[in-house]
Chains A and B, each alone.
Chain A
Amino acid sequence: MKVVLENVTKRFPNRDKKIKTEVTAVNNVSFTIPDGKLIGLLGPSGCGKSTTLFMICGLHKITEGKIFFGEDDVTNLSPENRGVGLVFQNYALYPHMTVKQNIMFPMENFKGEDKLTKEQMLERTMQVAKLVQLDGLLERKPSELSGGQQQRVAIARALVKMPRVLLLDEPLSNLDARLRLQTREEIRRIQRETKITTVFVTHDQEEAMSISDEIVVMKDGVVQQMGVPQTVYQDPANLFVAKFLGTPPINVFTGKVSGGALYIGAEKIMATPGVADQDVYVGIRPEGFVVSDNGCLTCDFRQVETMGGFMSVVSTHENSENPIIRSTVTDDIKIAEDAKTVKFDIKPNKIYIFNKETEERIRIEG
């Protein structure tokens, strides 16, 4: 089921009733979620991603705009008539029901020709339980389950009614780091097996990048960029997207374009044909640095850090926006312990320049 958002806007009345102006949580958002894909809605907290999810679900009324499931306009449909499955951030499992009763609950609401017999319900419960690997736990109460198991019950409860769209609100935020890794693969697997169009909300870019077919990056209620994770990472539309994606984060410098070349401080970094002279932000991915004696960028050397399989050079630069510059490097580099400076060459495809005012990407021709 394809999901289309058309100029969707959500405004909330101000909490302080004396202030008449409304708060715009989601501002004119349009995007299309292809059928059967797993989409990550990504952004910092308060960016409107959960509000967007709840509007797709129907729990939040839309102020302006339209939402379509396939060809159906569902804008004014209540959640129960949209055929969506929703997994809440804290799962919202009914504490007084067993796992089995929790999973069966949505099916008991079926009316008319959809109505199922007790046997059919049980059969479907068993199928879904098997899919999310809960087979042996059906008679337990939610309080007797671990966080990861509760999560799977919540997913099973959302899946059992065979929704047209599955929505997950911060599905992994209540799990510990190890379980989070495992569960996100699980979500990926379940989505692949069921082929249900799935939207999930997260503020963790790694999570979104690792399992999504496409990601939608949001900020202040506005979609910044949508696309395949790797593409968005390699080709950010603006400084915000560049900063938000990637661990360790991108290194940002102030620089300027002058006479067809990019400068950081006094050092010429690269040629920028066709770019007008101006002050810019320069973003360089950590993996874009190559330690080289004849490098074009000179930084003050701090230390070399080794973490597991990664090695990074930590340095500073007076034009750096970040307090330190972190560059991931191959482990055969040689820098003297007492070195004062380190020189880098920059890989041209790992460097982006952004307009200083609008923070929009400036693309270099050629």
Chain B
Amino acid sequence: MVNSKHQWKAWIYLAPAIAVLLVFTVWPIFNTVRMAFLENYSGLEATNGATFSFGVGNFVKVLKYKRFISCLKNTMILCVLTVPISTILALLIAVGLNSIKPLQKILQTIFFLPYVTNSIAIGMVFAAMFNIVGAFYGTENELIVTAGIINNVIEFFGGTPVNWINYGSQYSANIAVMTVYIVWNALPFKILVLLGGLQSINKQYYDAARVDGSSRRRIFARITVPLLSPMLAYVVITGFIGGFKEYTSIVGIFGENMGPADDAGRLNTMVGFIYDSLSTNSQGRASAAALILFGIILVVTLLNLYVSKKKVHY
């Protein structure tokens, strides 16, 4: 407890941080809520002196938008696919890394590299890997001459190349590419957290389980996973939050088109929708969408916390 005599000192120390938070966090949040409830609010018109009536019209409009529903669907699909896959993969890799002695540090570094690499750059590499042809956008009758490395591999094993992301590609193929990319991008952080968790588990639990004759699978299921559950819960919750904010990964692979050449915007996400709304000076609509996104994240996180309260051992 701070002595009341010295409390003013504490406030002075806190003041710079509080000031920054007020300007860049608290005020924007407050303003977002305000704009969301002002009918058809537009920043441009507001500076010209227009006034807006209070109401929920922005929300109604956003929810009626076909494009918003498609963005919501894309976001949901990517979240539901990538969070479990990346969590399970990260867990397996972390357990694997933890159980090997030689080269552990080097492998750890390799697995962590994607984390320090720019996601747009990674996206471009992935786009090249999943390409059909070097840089062929255009008509349907284009002849396939060279393919990206993934298709090369598929061909090598005698399969037919898949149009992953180019003109005329399937929605499912697009989602598959996005899933691979997002999972790959999400792995390093999760591996790092889970590996840290694994290394903090007392080795004697494993010795005890071994003396009791538990199989490796049982040790994993009954001891490792429960003891790791706090980290797993953390990774899942932050994974969902990150998943709902997915945007740059789409830009990384599909560019600003947010979809294959023949169907721009097909893979747009919630954040993409907000971004687009802002760029057309429809701040009211953007704010409403942002609040809806906030609501969804809140509900999912509460759900996660509720489940983890029952399942997680602290």
Residues of chain A at the chain B interface (Cβ within 8 Å): 57-59, 78-81, 84-86, 88, 90, 92, 94-96, 105-106, 108-110, 157, 161
Contact = CB atoms under 8 A, between A and B. Distances in A.
A250 B1 CA distance: 55
A145 to B, nearest CB: 16
18 contacts: A78-B210, A80-B210, A80-B214, A86-B211, A88-B207, A90-B204, A92-B202, A92-B204, A92-B208, A94-B205, A94-B208, A96-B227, A96-B313, A105-B209, A105-B222, A106-B212, A109-B212, A109-B214
B213 A109 contact: yes
Contacts of B141: none
B204 A80 contact: no
Contacts of A81: 213
B279 interface: no
Given A84-B211, A161-B212, A109 B218 contact: yes
Interface in B195-219: 202, 204-205, 207-215, 218
Main secondary structure of the interface of B (DSSP, over half): helix
A105 B205 contact: no
Nearest to A106: B212
B26 interface: no
Contact of B211 (A79, A94, A95): A79
B223 interface: yes
A59 B211 CA distance: 8
B204 A106 contact: no
A312 to B, nearest CB: 42
Contacts of A92: 202, 204-205, 207-208
Contacts of B213: 79-81, 106, 109-110
B227 A95 contact: yes
Nearest to B218: A109
B202 A105 contact: no
Contacts of B214: 80, 105, 109
A79 B204 CA distance: 14
A58 B227 CA distance: 25
Interface string B219-231: 0001100110100
Contact of B215 (A57, A86, A109, A161): A109
Contacts of A106: 212-213
Interface of B: 202, 204-205, 207-215, 218, 222-223, 226-227, 229, 313
A106 B222 CA distance: 12
A86 B211 CA distance: 7
Nearest to B219: A109
Given A59-B211, A85-B211, 7 more contacts: A78-B210, A92-B208, A94-B222, A96-B226, A96-B313, A105-B209, A109-B218
A95 B314 CA distance: 9
A81 B202 CA distance: 23
A88 B210 contact: no
A92 B210 CA distance: 12
B74 to A, nearest CB: 38
Contact of B313 (A57, A80, A95): A95
Given A92-B205, A94-B223, A95-B227, A79 B313 contact: no
Contact of B210 (A79, A94, A161): A79
B208 A88 contact: yes
Nearest to A141: B313
Contact of A88 (B204, B218, B229, B313): B204
Nearest to A87: B208
A318 to B, nearest CB: 50
A182 B208 CA distance: 25
B290 to A, nearest CB: 39
A162 to B, nearest CB: 12
Contacts of B313: 95-96
A57 B212 contact: no
Closest 5 CB pairs of A and B: A80-B213, A96-B313, A106-B212, A92-B204, A92-B208
Contacts of A58: 211
A57 B205 CA distance: 15
B68 to A, nearest CB: 43
Contact of A80 (B202, B211, B226, B227): B211
Which of B204, B205, B212 has the most chain A CB within a 10 Å cutoff? Answer: B212
Contacts of A78: 210
Contacts of B202: 90, 92
B207 A59 contact: yes
B106 to A, nearest CB: 17
B201 to A, nearest CB: 10
A57 B222 contact: no
